[in-house]
């Protein structure tokens, strides 16, 4: 497709602007997607506020956004499973396909992954993107492209739940009720976990957790989360804890609130990258620690979970902005972290 498209770019820390660029050409194994919605992720906000995450440093102009949903408008010659008009969720990481990690099915660990909005690779706060057809997943009729955009964070939640061997009959605790905490809670429920409790210090977020299906919430600013979990489990402790808050306090709490022999999944990055933990207690309890880096092989399952009504994915959206409002969308999200659970950018007027 010939023509120009509008692209929202980050021109520096705290500075958004716009560029007009060529609509990308599709290669034979790619499809051209007209984007409807792109979610704003915590990592986008972090790049916007600080210009870097670890060794990944933004060189402006840089395009943020890696949570896209849209409609296929053109397909490459060798693409057979998609056609124009199909609505899709886009998995943002292209992997090499032949390293040790790709070959053993752990492609999220591929050292050569090319991932939207991870410098120097541009993201998708723009009208069109050409993407590998294999990474575009068709949405059923009852799943919207807004939900399609949110499959990306939901995939993190499912990967966390699977890393923790979540299963029916368990009691689990999720630390943190931000976007990733909420999708983790919903993934645990979708996987049949009997009771999921959510801990946060912001009541608004806890109310959201209840609305989206948590079995109970604990306000850590008012109550001791460990004591509450022990009380709720008849002093046994929980079978699984997923830590999404990324603080030492909440991570230490998971070690105290879990039953012997249980699993703790660490999802949240801490500010300094380091923390001190009561390891003797962890050994005494023979706890298993798992971590999460993005996700693998999750999109089809996550889409099915939304289609079947097991996950109320659009319920996490609190704010929708237009592409023209990119500056406002980013500033509002940065300045209202207590109120914004999930903000998305609506790119297409027809969506």
For Zn ion, the binding residues (CB under 5 A) are 41, 95-96, 99, 102, 110
CB-wise, 43 or 288, nearer to Zn ion?
A: 43
Which lies closer to Zn ion via its Cβ, residue 217 or residue 330?
A: 330
CB closer to Zn ion, 156 vs 212: 156
Buried b (16+ CB within 10 A) or exposed e, 23-33: bbebeeebbbb
- What's the closest the beta carbon of residue 281 comes to Zn ion, in angstroms? 32
Cross-strand pairs, 136:
90
How far are the Cα atoms of 67, 175, 216, 241, 301 from residue 156, in angstroms, in the given order?
12, 15, 22, 15, 12
The encoded tokens of residue 117 equal 């909005």
Minimum distance of Zn ion from residue 99's CB (angstroms): 3
Measured CA to CA, the distance from residue 151 to residue 348 in angstroms comes to 18
Residue with Cβ nearer Zn ion (102 or 265): 102
In the bound state with Zn ion, the residue whose beta carbon lies nearer, of 45 and 96, is 96
Minimum gap (Å) between residue 235 Cβ and Zn ion: 37
Shortest Å, Cβ 140 to Zn ion: 23
Q: Cβ closer to Zn ion: 95 or 262?
A: 95
Q: Residue 102 or 212: which CB sits closer to Zn ion?
A: 102
| 285 DSSP assignment | T
Question: Shortest approach of Zn ion to residue 183 CB, angstroms?
Answer: 10
- β strands within 307-346, DSSP E: 319-322, 343-346
CB of 109 to Zn ion, least distance (A): 8
In whole angstroms, how close is the CB of 104 to Zn ion at the nearest point?
10
Closest distance of CB 259 from Zn ion, Å:
31
DSSP state of 192: T
Q: Which is nearer to Zn ion, 92 or 220 (CB)?
A: 92
3-state SS, one letter per residue, for 193-254: CCEEEEEECCHHHHHHHHHCCCCEEEECCCCCHHHHHHHHCCCCCEEEEEECCCCHHHHHHH
CA dist 72 → 138, 152, 346 (Å): 9, 18, 16
Q: At what angle do helices 179-190 and 203-211 cross, to 10 degrees?
A: 30
Q: How far is the CB of 152 from Zn ion (least distance, A)?
A: 6
Using omega within 30 degrees of 0 as the cis cutoff, is the peptide bond preceding 46 cis?
Answer: no
Closer by beta carbon to Zn ion, 71 or else 102: 102
Could you tell me which of 229, 189, 191 has the C-alpha nearest to residue 209?
189
Please give the sequence-ordered ranges of beta strands (E in DSSP) within 45-151, or none if there are none.
52-53, 56-57, 67-75, 87-90, 93-94, 114-115, 128-132, 136-138
């Amino acid at each position: 497709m010939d023509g120009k498209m509008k692209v929202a770019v980050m021109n520096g820390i705290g500075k958004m602007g716009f560029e007009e660029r060529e609509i990308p050409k599709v290669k034979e194994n790619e499809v051209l997607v007209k984007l409807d919605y792109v979610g704003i992720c915590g990592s986008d906000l972090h790049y916007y506020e600080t210009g870097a995450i670890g060794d990944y440093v933004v060189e402006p102009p840089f395009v943020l956004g890696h949570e896209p949903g849209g409609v296929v408008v053109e397909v490459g010659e060798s693409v057979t499973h998609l056609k124009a008009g199909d609505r899709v969720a886009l998995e943002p990481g292209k992997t090499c396909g032949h390293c040790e990690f790709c070959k053993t099915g752990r492609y999220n660990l591929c050292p050569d992954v090319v991932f939207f909005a991870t410098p120097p690779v541009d993201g998708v706060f723009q009208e069109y993107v050409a993407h590998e057809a294999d990474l575009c997943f068709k949405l059923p009729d009852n799943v919207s492209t807004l939900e399609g955009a949110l499959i990306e964070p939901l995939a993190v939640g499912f990967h966390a739940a699977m890393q923790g061997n979540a299963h029916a009959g368990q009691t689990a605790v999720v630390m943190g009720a931000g976007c990733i905490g909420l999708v983790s809670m919903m993934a645990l429920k979708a996987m049949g976990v009997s009771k999921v409790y959510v801990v946060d210090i912001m009541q608004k977020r806890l109310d959201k957790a209840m609305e989206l299906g948590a079995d109970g919430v604990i306000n850590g600013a008012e109550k001791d989360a460990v004591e509450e979990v022990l009380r709720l489990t008849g002093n046994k402790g929980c079978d699984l804890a997923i830590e999404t808050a990324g603080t030492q306090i909440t991570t230490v709490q998971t070690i105290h609130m879990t039953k012997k022999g249980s699993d703790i999944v660490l999802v949240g990055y801490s500010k300094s990258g380091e923390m001190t933990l009561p390891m003797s207690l962890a050994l005494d309890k023979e706890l298993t620690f798992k971590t999460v880096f993005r996700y693998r092989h999750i999109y089809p399952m996550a889409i099915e979970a939304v289609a079947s009504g097991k996950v109320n994915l659009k319920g996490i959206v609190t704010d929708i902005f237009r592409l023209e409002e990119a500056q406002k969308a980013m500033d509002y999200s940065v300045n209202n972290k207590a109120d914004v659970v999930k903000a998305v950018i609506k790119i297409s007027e027809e969506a």
